Every structure is written in C-alpha cells, then in structure tokens.
A and B are shown apart, each in its own frame.
Chain A
Amino acid sequence: AQSVTQLDSQVPVFEEAPVELRCNYSSSVSVYLFWYVQYPNQGLQLLLKYLSGSTLVESINGFEAEFNKSQTSFHLRKPSVHISDTAEYFCAVNPAGGTSYGKLTFGQGTILTVHP
C-alpha cells in the first residue's frame, strides 16, 4: 500500500515570492508521482508528473518538482508566484509497473494563497 503526506495544509505567500509545497510518500514498490491542482470552482487538473528519467520535472506555468528517492519526497517549487497560482495542490502516487493501473493515492492537499 502507498501513503502520501503533505506537510503543510496551508501556505500563504506574497506575490513574486518563491514557494515550496512539500510532499513525502511511502511505498514498498516503485511509484509514479503526480501533482494535481484544483483552482477555485474547478476540477482537478494534472500539473506535472514523474514517471522515469530525469528527476526534475517542470510544468508549463513555471512549477517544478524533484523526485528524491532516498528521501521519498516530491516537493513542488516555483521561484516566483502569481495571484493566479492561488489554488489547492494535491500530491499523488501510483504503483509503477506493467500491470499497474491508475489507482491514485492522494495527499491531504495544500492550499496555496498568494497575496498581493
């Protein structure tokens, strides 16, 4: 079984400041790692994912996350946030492997609030 812990339930920051949303996971097997975002009054959207290869993955809107196998972490970072980044962010894992399917295990979520 897998578990995901998001260490901060709420993160308030000022516009243009850097931000890090922390995610740790536990699993006895290899996993794929995901960050999903939920903007106010919208459904969950995939932000970025790590499947294999380079441990640093990036999104189209400036977020990045680094897979750290030794620390079982997949923290999400952005060097300069915008008001429009205000949303709830969910870290999720899925067992990897040829016979696995998309049974996502989510963390509790982190509400990012960007203040002007």
Chain B
Amino acid sequence: GAGVSQTPSNKVTEKGKYVELRCDPISGHTALYWYRQSLGQGPEFLIYFQGTGAADDSGLPNDRFFAVRPEGSVSTLKIQRTERGDSAVYLCASSLGGRALDEQYFGPGTRLTVT
C-alpha cells in the first residue's frame, strides 16, 4: 500500500515569507509526527498528533511554527516569517496507534531552503 507522502519535496522561499508543508500519513494511522533534520544531524522531534489533537508540541522551536491535522489524517506544518535558520529537511512519520513501541513510518521529507 501507499506509504507516507510529503509535498512539496523541495521548497525554496525568501526570508520573511510564509510556507506550508503537507503530510499524508498511511491510511488508518492515528498517530502523526513531525521531525526536523538539519544538515549533519539526526531528526529532532517537533510535534505529535493523536487523531486531530496535538498531544505534544514541545519540540516546536517558537511561535512561528504551527501544525494542524483537522480531520485526523492529512497534516500541515506552517512556518511564518521564515528565517534562514529554518532551512532543513522536515520529516513526517505516522504509526498505527502512537504507542512508544509502534513502528513509525517516515515520509521522504520536504527540503526547505530559506534564502
């Protein structure tokens, strides 16, 4: 079946602009995660959704970052007033139940470049 998909695959934007990154999880997966991977680093947790609600958003770096999952499926990560430091690969993952031992399936990522 279809895996986790993310669009766009690449996004180049100017400093100060607003961007939206989309994630389509595996059908039926209730848990959805966003991570950010900077160059030469491992992924860092941003936010976790269980259904429609954000159960843990402790990894969002500041209030310019916001994410939604209005129908419990597709999620959108929104970044306002982008800064060059926001440049990274943004990864989305989903899992069946959200338990710690559940396997997370990752999408290919969106590479964001802020010029």
Residues in chain A within 8 A of chain B (CB atoms): 4, 6, 9, 32, 36, 42-46, 49, 51, 90, 92, 94-97, 100-109
Determine the residue in chain A with the shortest Cβ distance to B99. Answer: A101
Taking the closest CB of chain B, its distance from the CB of A59, in whole angstroms, is 13
Which residues of B sit under 8 angstroms from A101, Cβ to Cβ?
31, 48, 50, 55-56, 98-100
Q: A46-B104, A109-B41 are in contact. List 20 more A-B contacts (CB 8 A).
A: A4-B42, A32-B100, A45-B106, A46-B103, A51-B101, A94-B100, A94-B101, A95-B100, A96-B100, A97-B100, A101-B48, A101-B50, A101-B56, A101-B99, A102-B33, A102-B100, A102-B104, A106-B44, A107-B42, A108-B42
Interface size in chain B (residues, C-beta < 8 A): 29
Q: Bound complex: CA of A109 vs CA of B43, how far in Å? A: 9
Q: Which of A6, A51, A102, A103 has the most CB of B within 10 A?
A: A102
Residues in chain B within 8 A of chain A (CB atoms): 3-4, 31, 33, 35, 40-45, 48, 50, 55-56, 91, 93, 95, 98-104, 106-109
Determine the residue in chain B with the shortest Cβ distance to A38. Answer: B106
Which residues of B sit under 8 angstroms from A107, Cβ to Cβ?
42
Determine the residue in chain A with the shortest Cβ distance to B92. Answer: A43
In the complex, are the beta carbons of A100 and B99 less than 8 A apart? yes
If A44-B91, A51-B101, A95-B100 touch, does A102 touch B48 (CB 8 Å cutoff)?
yes
